[in-house]
Structure 1
Amino acid sequence: MTAVQDRPTEAPLTLEAPAPRVLGLADQLGLWGNLGVSLLGFTGAIFVLVPVADPGMSLGAALVAVVVGTVLGSLGIGAIAIPGARTGAPSMVLLRGLFGTRASYVPTVLNIVQLIGWTTFELVTISTALSQLAPGVPRWAYAVAAGVLSTALALRPLAWIRVLRKYVTIVVMVALAYLAVQLLRHPLPALNDGGWNGFWVAVDTVIGVTVSWVPLVADYARHSRTPHKAFIGTSVGYAVTQFACYALGLLALVTVAGRDPDKIFGSFIAVPLGALVFGVLTIRELDQSFADTYSTAVSVQNLRPRWDRRVLALVIGAVSTVAAVALNIADYESFLLLIGSVFVPLLGVLLVDWFWLRRGRWDLSTGSRTRWATLIAWAAGFVAYQLVNPGALTWWVPIWSGLGSALHFTAPSWLGASIFSFVVAAVVAALLTPLLRGPEVPDEPTTYDETRDEAPAEAELVAQDEEGAR
């Protein structure tokens, strides 16, 4: 028992230290169950209900789109948890095996930029929501308080995950159920009142939200006791609550908010005890900003493995907090969505390479050689995404419109960018990898943490489970 108690239970400070395997199934269900709920997700339901143009889809079609998009996206992030759990490597280090060490720096830098941006977005969202609940306090004070708390949680991430599992998840589920019951007291339109126009675009929207977590999944899955628990905890935990979040947003839109996303928060607050329940969901949003802050620090470590993640988290938290107070972050949203689009085709390349082409035999060392086949496949998927949906940046859209015209390619209205780019990237990787001779394939599946002990014996796992239960 003494040996088990001496095992580290918190995330390592550098990449050179072993990652403890301490997260059980309940821990990961709690983590991803909370990450599946988002204030931005409630308002984002409008892009599912009205994916193309007014009057939008029927409530039944929108709910089906949420189910399809959530299942597909959750299976994707669940699958990417498996390499993290097997190797003990965080997300950006896994990309050394997929692209090579030097090439992995490109998505790493993009991920750092987008995560700092999303951390700032979350702080703005939290402070704005709290301002609606208690307008007597200036918004900047809420932003500073949220930034301080997010940074503090990122200093001890695994301890916070246990708190989520023990306490927060239950409270959040009760809050969601309560709001759903209150909204269902209002008359609902018929489920088939409307059409299915834009169904696959709506599915694509839901998938895109889910896949936005791809750059973070392995940062937590590497601490899982088994790959099986990592897959189930990530996919099931996220799927259940994301569906609940979207469904609640849809209910608010068709019952109280009049299809106006700006009125969704107000419709929650207006129900009996609504301010209290909405306050719970707002404070819970800290797990989003915490996850972004911690994963930003771990991503930086792919560039500087010896840097202390606690120092990095403090710097990142300070930068994000200042940005949330001082900047007009709404102008940055389109750029963040553009960066996020690079990770959809990356998921396609990663899954086909890990599970089929190399079957887990990756070189995750700092000397891993560049793999041009997977890089080209990733680029092809990115191009496919932009041809379908180049976003809204005024200087960016004409580039892809011009390329589409040159290629005589016009995306049909039903085609979703996420699914299309995922398939293109996966197919190109499958076809190109055998043709381009890359680095030699290791004889055995690679474990990043070569200094980590062998998997704990069954008795040790039982003792860890008992300790986790306490």
Structure 2
Amino acid sequence: MAVDTRPDLSSDPHAEAPTTLNEAAPRTLGLLDQLGFWGNVGVSLLGFSGAIAILAPYGVRPLSFTAAVAAAVLGSVLGGLILGGSLVLGARTGAPAMVLLRGLLGAKASFVPTALNIAQCLGWAVFELVTISTGLQALTHGDLPRWLCLVLAGLVTTALTIRPLGWIRALRKYVSVLVILALVLLAIGLLRNPVPELAGSWQGFWLAVDSAMALTISWVPLGADYSRHSRSARAAFAGGFLGYGLTQIACLVIGLIALAQVAQDGSRIFDLFIGLPLGTLAFAILVIRESDQSFANVYSTAISLQNLRPGLDRRVLTVLIGAVTTALALTINIDDYANFLYLIGGVFIPMSGALIAAWIRGGGRRWNTAEDAPARPGMWLAWLVGFLCYQLINPGSIAHWSDFWTSAGTRLHTLSHPWLSASIASFAVSVLLALPFAGDRPGGDRPAGDRPAGDQLPTRERSGAGRPPA
């Protein structure tokens, strides 16, 4: 069997991500790097105003403040467990997120979720550019024109994707402490005034939990793009569960406090922050740092495209994608796309269940990421039934689509159950359905060492370097 003779880059602390999928991924990110990266990703300017989906879930009366905080914490913890589990898969295989789905669904079949993920990443990248632009305009009191803010945000985002691992290491070294300081300043400033009493109930608690979980699980289709560079599986899990989970809770709770003080008007949150003592400094830090969100979405769009064409150069792709997202941010009303993005997020919650179930049942062995990985119909079934379960419990708000699922849910009595969470139920259904099929080994699904050279992604084992300890 031919042996990959390329140098092992795992010991080079400055090694960069490979330009194509035909090259091995260096394992250079330690625990602090991943805590820094996921901790920064867990804080988003969109998250502050987006906390309204937790405080006032669609279709029900608003929650009390206590119920909203409890939903934010529980949803972040449950979502963090799923995110952390998916990061372990990337760390153990060295494969990016969409390539992992070759082992779940089959190589050609993985193109379907890959296309959905590309649409999701592009949409969220545009959202982030618009958010950064809005923040810059708020900081400059409108002195900078919107188009210039968008172009600047697009240029910075694109530049960061050229050396992604270098940017992640910089986040850990220079940015994380500033972000923590900004959150502390905002929290202290907001709590100088009492939190207004919010008339609400616990009726929509599980809908709010769904929203918090969806925020976290929306990163599952991107997570392994970064955890494949982890030195260990434990570090990858801790980075996602602790780093992302804790900062998302902090972000959502600050958002809930701010919403309570502006009478649930999310458009006034940025002005509220700037008006706090040292609020301008804190807000400026968060606006500048928001580029890590747009960076991750643009970079993962490129990595997802490489699942379709492994030989494409990610640097060329990210430059093109950065230009496209900037152009879209300048020309379209992205708000019309929001509900579609939430629908796509619902697609990946049951897929995460099937993915983790297949990994656990198989013991993490013989995961086929080859370009000829065979289809696995049982896994498709588990994913599809889980998705249907999600829609029957939480139909969303897309015209016509939600009407159909609301009608079906009404007939099947799956709607309006305060104790029922669409995210938890669809995840559990996918896990239970995937487990019986996870042990099936269709023809061609051979151990990695039995495959011809070049038939799979390069890994450290092929160059003689051992897998990092778990």
The corresponding residue for 2:153 is 146
The corresponding residue for 2:224 is 218
The DSSP-based 3-state class of the residue aligned with 1:341 is helix
The DSSP-based 3-state class of the residue aligned with 1:188 is coil
Task: Compute the displacement of 1:324 (Å).
Answer: 0.3
The corresponding residue for 2:278 is 273
Q: Structure 2: which 5+ runs fail to align?
A: 1-7
The corresponding residue for 1:261 is 266
Task: Compute the displacement of 1:395 (Å).
Answer: 2.6
Alignment of 1:381-460 (within 5 A): 381-404=386-409, 407=412, 409-433=414-438, 438-439=442-443, 442-443=446-447, 448-450=457-459, 452-455=462-465
CA contact (8 A) 1:89 1:449 kept: no
Task: Compute the displacement of 1:41 (Å).
Answer: 0.6
Alignment of 1:107-118 (within 5 A): 107-118=113-124
In structure 2, distance between residues paired with 1:166 and 1:266:
30
Distance 1:408 1:33, change over 3 A: closer
In structure 2, distance between residues paired with 1:236 and 1:293:
24
Task: Compute the displacement of 1:338 (Å).
Answer: 1.4
Q: Structure 1: which 5+ runs fail to align?
A: 462-470
Task: Compute the displacement of 1:429 (Å).
Answer: 1.3
1:300 to 296, 300, 305: 305
The DSSP-based 3-state class of the residue aligned with 2:109 is helix
Task: Compute the displacement of 1:38 (Å).
Answer: 0.4
Distance 1:203 1:5, change over 3 A: closer
In structure 2, distance between residues paired with 1:153 and 1:345:
32
Over aligned residue pairs, what C-alpha RMSD do you find? 2.4
The corresponding residue for 1:468 is none
Distance 1:113 1:137, change over 3 A: same
Letter in 2 for 1:315: L
The corresponding residue for 2:28 is 22
TM-score by length of structure 2 reads: 0.91
2:189 to 166, 182, 203: 182
In structure 2, distance between residues paired with 1:428 and 1:22:
36
Task: Compute the displacement of 1:189 (Å).
Answer: 4.6
Which range moves more in the overlay, 242-251 or 257-266? 257-266
* Residues 206-239 of structure 1 deviation map (CA, whole Å, 9 limit, x = unaligned): 0010000011110000000111111111211001
CA contact (8 A) 2:302 2:317 kept: yes
1:83 to 41, 65, 89: 89
In structure 1, distance between residues paired with 2:174 and 2:289:
11
The DSSP-based 3-state class of the residue aligned with 1:215 is helix
Distance 1:367 1:264, change over 3 A: same
Task: Compute the displacement of 1:320 (Å).
Answer: 0.3
The corresponding residue for 2:4 is none
CA contact (8 A) 2:389 2:426 kept: yes
In structure 2, distance between residues paired with 1:289 and 1:73:
21
In structure 1, distance between residues paired with 2:14 and 2:457:
18
Letter in 2 for 1:92: M
The DSSP-based 3-state class of the residue aligned with 1:399 is helix
In structure 1, distance between residues paired with 2:411 and 2:56:
31
Alignment of 1:162-181 (within 5 A): 162-181=169-188
Which range moves more in the overlay, 237-246 or 442-451? 442-451
In structure 1, distance between residues paired with 2:214 and 2:338:
14
Distance 1:229 1:335, change over 3 A: same
In structure 2, distance between residues paired with 1:38 and 1:221:
20
Task: Compute the displacement of 1:356 (Å).
Answer: 2.1
Distance 1:322 1:33, change over 3 A: same
Distance 1:40 1:8, change over 3 A: closer
In structure 2, distance between residues paired with 1:324 and 1:449:
37
Task: Compute the displacement of 1:8 (Å).
Answer: 6.8
The corresponding residue for 1:133 is 139
2:51 to 38, 45, 51: 45
The DSSP-based 3-state class of the residue aligned with 2:230 is coil
TM-score by length of structure 1 reads: 0.91
Letter in 2 for 1:235: F
Amino-acid identity (%): 50
Distance 1:338 1:73, change over 3 A: same
Which range moves more in the overlay, 49-58 or 222-231? 49-58
2:18 to 12, 15, 24: 12
* Residues 85-142 of structure 1 deviation map (CA, whole Å, 9 limit, x = unaligned): 0110000100000111010011011111111111011001111121122101111110
2:288 to 259, 283, 291: 283
The DSSP-based 3-state class of the residue aligned with 2:221 is coil
In structure 2, distance between residues paired with 1:231 and 1:433:
22
In structure 2, distance between residues paired with 1:374 and 1:103:
11
Task: Compute the displacement of 1:442 (Å).
Answer: 3.9
1:231 equivalent in alignment to 2:237: yes
1:340 equivalent in alignment to 2:345: yes
Alignment of 1:298-337 (within 5 A): 298-337=303-342
CA contact (8 A) 1:372 1:438 kept: no
Alignment of 1:352-363 (within 5 A): 352-357=357-362, 359-363=364-368
Counting matched residue pairs gives 455
Distance 1:3 1:397, change over 3 A: closer
CA contact (8 A) 2:38 2:244 kept: yes
In structure 2, distance between residues paired with 1:310 and 1:66:
37
Letter in 2 for 1:449: P
Distance 1:48 1:398, change over 3 A: closer
1:120 equivalent in alignment to 2:130: no
The corresponding residue for 1:374 is 379
The DSSP-based 3-state class of the residue aligned with 1:420 is helix
In structure 1, distance between residues paired with 2:13 and 2:194:
56
In structure 2, distance between residues paired with 1:433 and 1:404:
29
CA contact (8 A) 2:373 2:445 kept: no
